[in-house]
Structure 1
Amino acid sequence: MVLEGRHVPARAPLAEHHHANAALEVRHLTAGYPGMRPAIDDVSIRVPTGEIVGLIGPNGAGKSTLFKAILGLIHPARGEVLAFGRPVREARADIAYMPQVEEVDWEFPVSVLDVVMMGRYHGPRPFLGWSRADRAAGLAALARVGLSPYVARQVGQLSGGQRRRVLMARAIARGARLLLLDEPFAGLDAAVQHDLLAILDDLASEGRSILIATHDLSCVANSCDEAICLNRRVVASGQPGEVLTEAILTATFERHLLAIPQAIDVVRIADDEHLETHERQVTR
């Protein structure tokens, strides 16, 4: 079984693609939490400039730990993380993070614009008020995701799809060249997911680099330039058509993956909290 390859129209090559430094390089990274075995062990990945890379693996595979290490929120036991050729601690302004929607308190009384403007935070400026440039960046990001009419709306009044757009706008408003997205499409209908993927493809065309942690195999197959399978270690990485095979997915998801041979294969990713089913036409 091989999931179909990418259908997104090819983007024009960027000069930056040929630069010696990738947008993100993780080298032999081992990281975890006190008193526990490492959540990730000897992980090496690379996100090229101007590309969308999908990171897949079961719950507990270490995807969130990897993101925390990239963001500098935890200190690795071994290895290093470089962003644009620099240690990640020196490149934090160049990295934007879009958390899972469940990690946000949507009942907190703030407006849509307030949330987006948090992406502009680089220091003590918010205590002095936002600059005109900050506000312009926030409004432009909201326009890009189609939420201009909701600038003054309380975030708690938004739908699930609109909340994802707000989080994406916040990441865009930061102006970062590297975007880390944690499960941005979970629970969204196909139309909303398509719209968000189109925005990401435009961002990649402009030279931004995007790493998406997701359970959605069809998203990775059809919308990503490269795929990385993670289960504490990197199981495989490369072009989606080479990586999303039955053998590699079985090694990645272990008991969580059931491939049912039919005219249309059904790939099921199960964990302790939910069961997601993704249907894709396959080639053999």
Structure 2
Amino acid sequence: MWRFLKYLLIAGYIAVLLFVSHLIGKWAYTWMPVEATAEAQKVDSLFSFLTSVGAFIILGLVGMMVYSILFFRAPKNDYSEGHPSRGDIRLEILWTATPTLLVLWLAWQGFNIYQQLDILGLQQVVHLHTPLEEPASAALISDIPKPADETIEVFVKQWDWTFRYPNNVTSNELHLPVNRRTRLNMHAKDVLHSFYVPEFRLQQYIVPGRDIDLVVTPTRIGEYKLKDALFSGTYFALMEANVHIESPQQYNQWLSKAQGEPASMKNQAVAEYVQPPKTLFKSNWYIVAPEQSAIASERKVRNDT
């Protein structure tokens, strides 16, 4: 009877742990920025599950330690060894198989999410050589582009983001229609950069000399910030751009309005560069002078002509 009650208490404690861990996992959604894309929902679901598993493990271990301290405290001056768990094949299988299966499942889920993010453009060139033949043949292995409603060209350089839309409208702001799959074809003009919007849960390296395609599906109307997540030189922290997720009607209206006259652009890096130094000592470190934005230069040329 006592053994049955003990097992019943253990089962009840595990049920309470599962319930509390589930609540903590749901609470974890509030720790992240808002979800602005369908891809963000998949990433947050995995994060919530990881939080639930971690909460279950830590609460279970703490509960076992507190229970052992309260009910299995050794008497005073008792220095004898406890019962060894070594050699118990059931425990060995349990604490070996459980973490292994959990890690494999998490790896599979992470791989699936990575595949669904549709990161393309990382072509691999394979050179085939034979010992008797000098010429080498190259086979280009490329990903087949996933379907998307439209494609927006993204150009990044020190220290500027530029976006070109299907009707050749160019802007320093990224406008995306909500609930439509949009392909971002990204190009780095100088050094390694990184496309990062926290609300998108996407952080993708942009490699010079390669076209990197990233397909996103915005789901939440609003204004967000695009950042460069890699150190790309002085003023890299100023490499921000506004991201507008709009209804299809608002998006089309903006495209029609922007097609007539390009909007003036302000490059914050240029503004910082022309400011007098604010330090007491001059470091004489080499600083790359930032260039004016492409649209601002184009506007100036038009006015001169």
Q: Shorter-normalised TM-score: what interval?
A: under 0.3
Greater helix fraction, Structure 1 or Structure 2: 2
The structure whose RCO (Cα within 8 Å, separation 6+) is larger is 1
User: Which structure would you say has the larger Rg?
Assistant: 2
TM-score (norm 1): 0.24
